[in-house]
């Protein structure tokens, strides 16, 4: 079952080299043979030794720990938090030596298409259109830089505006057009926000195109953007690694191979390229203690098992409605701007165990690996005498990530003795930070400082239990930042109004509206200087090059997913003549990547003077239809009442239809939207729930 007894450190001076990493297995096996042990010895008595030595050279360069905002709309609700809570959340994410202290921020290059939990607006809705103030990723990158000027920035597209494909749902049909689009985003970041983008990706979790990647590199260089590095292909290790091996020019222009959810493993071709290997998206797990365990395990084992030098979590902070796909899969939770409530979840402090005591540019030691009784350890140095060791003992049932499936393994209590060699031999003390994840009725201890560990002639020991994380470091920095408790959690207001009358809005989207297909933006209606001068307008008029199964209709949701009885009122303005149309809806059940099959109660009016009531967004389940007299380019007021199993609708304050029977147990968000990708405006939105 394993090794019993204490390994004597004087007998462990010659570690065995395995794959370039020093371990003590050879001497440990000798000890297993020679050392007396009691037949009644328990796992708690087990001891093994591990050498940490830089005299034979260092391992791979460490590139940092990061997180993704986007893919999509995962930071949508963050921007609507009132101060000081919004700044507090940002501090927990980005401020050095305070919380997660992230080294990398990766953002979606908005493409007007659904990208998991919503759409993010493009900087170029149309070919002749450029606007570098849409959305919130520009703001988020600036806030990150404000707190940590050294943070690295990555841009990656999920969807693309439809005009790029020239009628094809494919971004590589005209690679010069797509390159122009991406380069414009990089240049716009610098020109309008003074943001230097460090890395650029190709197309999230979709096919890559060698011609496009080469042209992108050529154009970056031509534009003076040599510093921008290319990551490919934000999918699996293959086929990009093999393609690089057989195409020397492709190999030259790609700087980093980025794989998603690699399960801490890599492949031979990726290693053979001798390129940097990143888990350019990972984690994606509900942020409870198991999620923290997942994150702790892969932060270490991505390097131990896969030589992966950067791990980037999807997602940064769960700032989207929880009942959208992958709810609460962020490093922390900030999904209630109306109340100001947020939660600093365990993954924040798991991140801190690494990020607060390392920096990109440090190097892993060659000596890292698995602990004899389960768990892992890594050690990093700045090359100037500083050393940071991170140890994790996550158990199988307490650390699975959402993907890929995790093979069973066993972890048990153990004693670990570390032998500091080379430039670390003279280290006298190590500062120690500790996490113990609690399960069932046991509370977690998160990122807690412990008394320094004394190092005696290069040797120290630790008694390790299961589901623990330790950081031991020569650095005297490190802080568990804290703010007063935020306000208590509250549901979405049951009486909510928005007339969209705001001069110079700080963001292009109205508060709390979460676009699921299409993009709804603040709009100044110069043709109507009266009651409808300021409106909310749907602006995507061509189906984007999609990443997910976008609906054929546009839709933006708002409110509480638990709402059953609601009254929704909204002024609507159809702009498209002939076949234009708009809707208001309640009890909307699906969003995100499932928006195409969204159910609910949808009240439509069309430019041809008809109306419909349907049980789905696609309009296939028609519950009632008739004549309304509505015409395009006129303002009309729609009202939808949902009470128990009955629904009714009014037009311009007059009843239009009633006695439609619906499921009394149904519940969901409320929504506005359009019949197709078309211009339309909305004003004086009001919802009352009971």
**Which residue(s) pair with 285 in the sheet?**
none
Rounded (5°) CA angle 180-514-576? 70
Among the options 61, 205, 575, 688, which is catalytic?
205
Rounded-to-integer distance, Cα 270 and Cα 188, Å:
33
Rounded-to-integer distance, Cα 687 and Cα 690, Å:
10
Rounded-to-integer distance, Cα 187 and Cα 196, Å:
9
Q: How many CA atoms lie within 13 A of 621 on its CB side?
A: 13
CB atoms inside a 10 Å sphere around CB 40: 6
Whether 336 sits among the annotated catalytic residues: the reply is no
CB atoms inside a 10 Å sphere around CB 427: 18
290 cis-preceded (ω within 30 degrees of 0): no
Integer angstrom CA distances of residue 109 from 71, 124, 189, 362, 564: 9, 11, 11, 29, 36
Whether 249 sits among the annotated catalytic residues: the reply is no
Write the DSSP string, 194-215: -----EE-S-TTS---HHHHHH
Rounded-to-integer distance, Cα 43 and Cα 37, Å:
12
Residue bearing tokens 């440090």: 362
Among the options 120, 137, 143, 281, which is catalytic?
281
Rounded-to-integer distance, Cα 580 and Cα 380, Å:
61
The candidate with the shortest Cα–Cα distance to 157, out of 196, 139, 130, 184, is: 184
- Quick one: how many helices (H) and strands (E) in the chain? 10, 38
The candidate with the shortest Cα–Cα distance to 207, out of 169, 245, 177, is: 169
> Which residues are part of the catalytic machinery?
205, 281
């Amino acid at each position: 079952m394993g090794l019993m007894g204490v390994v004597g450190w004087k007998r462990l001076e010659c570690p065995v080299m395995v794959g370039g990493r020093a371990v003590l297995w050879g001497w440990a096996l000798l000890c297993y043979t020679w050392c007396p042990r009691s037949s009644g010895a328990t796992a708690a008595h087990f001891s093994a030794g591990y050498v940490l030595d830089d005299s034979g050279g260092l391992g791979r360069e460490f590139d940092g720990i990061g997180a993704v905002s986007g893919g999509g709309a995962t930071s949508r609700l963050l921007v609507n938090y009132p101060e000081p809570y919004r700044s507090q959340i940002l501090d927990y994410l980005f401020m050095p030596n305070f919380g997660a202290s992230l080294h990398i921020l990766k953002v979606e290059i908005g493409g007007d298409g659904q990208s998991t939990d919503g759409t993010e607006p493009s900087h170029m809705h149309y070919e002749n259109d450029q606007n570098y103030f849409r959305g919130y990723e520009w703001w988020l990158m600036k806030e990150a830089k404000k707190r940590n000027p050294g943070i690295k920035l990555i841009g990656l597209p999920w969807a693309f505006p439809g005009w790029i494909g020239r009628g094809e749902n494919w971004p590589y049909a005209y690679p010069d057009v797509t390159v122009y689009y991406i380069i414009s985003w990089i240049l716009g970041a610098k020109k309008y926000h003074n943001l230097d983008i460090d890395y650029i990706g190709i197309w999230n979790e979709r096919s890559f195109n060698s011609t496009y990647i080469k042209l992108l590199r050529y154009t970056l260089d031509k534009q003076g953007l040599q510093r921008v590095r290319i990551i490919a292909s934000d999918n699996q290790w293959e086929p990009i690694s093999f393609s690089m091996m057989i195409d020397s020019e492709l190999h030259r222009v790609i700087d980093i191979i980025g794989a998603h959810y690699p399960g801490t493993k890599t492949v031979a071709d990726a290693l053979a390229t001798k390129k940097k290997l990143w888990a350019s998206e990972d984690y994606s797990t509900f942020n409870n203690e198991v999620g923290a365990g997942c994150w702790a395990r892969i932060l270490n084992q991505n390097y131990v098992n896969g030589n992966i030098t950067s791990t980037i979590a999807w997602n940064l902070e769960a700032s989207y409605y929880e009942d959208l796909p992958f709810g609460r899969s962020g490093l922390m939770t900030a999904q209630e701007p109306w109340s100001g409530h947020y939660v600093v979840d365990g993954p924040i402090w798991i991140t801190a165990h690494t990020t607060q005591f390392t920096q990109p540019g440090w190097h892993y030691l060659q000596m890292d690996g698995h602990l004899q009784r389960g768990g892992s350890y890594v050690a990093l140095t700045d090359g100037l005498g500083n050393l940071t060791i991170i140890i994790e003992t996550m158990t199988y049932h307490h650390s699975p990530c959402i993907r890929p499936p995790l093979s069973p393994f066993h972890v048990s209590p153990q004693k670990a003795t570390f032998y500091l060699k080379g430039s670390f031999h003279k280290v006298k003390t190590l500062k120690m930070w500790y996490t113990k994840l609690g399960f069932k009725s046991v509370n977690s201890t998160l990122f807690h400082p412990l008394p320094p560990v004394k190092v005696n002639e290069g040797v120290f020991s630790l008694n390790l239990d299961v589901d623990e994380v330790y950081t031991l470091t020569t650095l005297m920095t490190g802080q568990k930042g804290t703010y007063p408790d935020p306000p208590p959690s509250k549901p979405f207001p049951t009486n909510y109004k928005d007339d969209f009358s705001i001069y110079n809005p700080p963001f292009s989207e109205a508060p709390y509206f979460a676009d699921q297909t299409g993009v709804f933006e603040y709009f100044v209606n110069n043709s109507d200087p009266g009651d409808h001068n300021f409106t909310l307008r749907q602006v995507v008029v061509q189906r984007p090059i999609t990443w997910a199964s976008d609906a054929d209709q546009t839709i933006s949701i708002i409110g509480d997913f638990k709402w059953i009885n609601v009254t929704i009122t909204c002024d609507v303005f159809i702009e498209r003549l002939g076949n234009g149309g708009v809707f208001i809806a309640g009890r909307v059940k699906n969003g995100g990547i499932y928006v195409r099959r969204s159910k609910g109660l949808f009240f439509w009016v069309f430019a041809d003077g008809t109306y419909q009531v349907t049980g789905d967004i696609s309009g296939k389940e028609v519950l009632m239809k008739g004549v309304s007299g509505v015409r395009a380019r006129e303002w009309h007021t729609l009202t939808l009442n949902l009470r128990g199993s009955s629904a009714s609708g009014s037009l311009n304050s007059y009843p239009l239809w009633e006695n439609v029977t619906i499921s009394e147990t149904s519940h969901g968000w409320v929504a506005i939207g359009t019949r197709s990708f078309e211009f339309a405006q909305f004003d004086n939105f009001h919802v009352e729930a009971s």
